[in-house]
Amino acid sequence: MKIISKYILTRFSKNGKHFDIPKEQRRVIPKFKNRRKMIVICFYSLLAILLILLLASFIKATRANNDSKEAVNKTNMIQKKYEIMRIQSV
């Protein structure tokens, strides 16, 4: 609200005439732009970190899935060998 009222006041006085304000002062960047840049940088860095964590979890899940498949195959092989040995011993 202050920015809008300042903008209106810099444009016209009560008599409809321009204030004598230099252009440099009119073009001053509001404080919010620096904060906005910082907030955007923090937001995108947080998104990047979450993306990296998501990819890492997918990689870990696929490795765990492969390990579990190998373990299942090994147990099946051991079970088959045990059954064969059991049949031969009888």
Residue indicated by tokens 């059991």: 86
In this prediction, residue 60 carries a pLDDT of 92
Q: Phi/psi at 14 (nearest 5 deg)?
A: -65, -30
> What is the chain's alpha carbon radius of gyration, rounded to the nearest angstrom?
35
In this prediction, residue 88 carries a pLDDT of 84
In this prediction, residue 2 carries a pLDDT of 56
Each residue's pLDDT, cut to its tens digit, for the chain (90 residues) gives 555 555 555 555 555 555 566 666 666 656 656 678 888 899 999 999 999 999 999 999 998 988 899 999 999 999 998 988 888 876
What's the predicted TM-score (pTM) here? 0.47
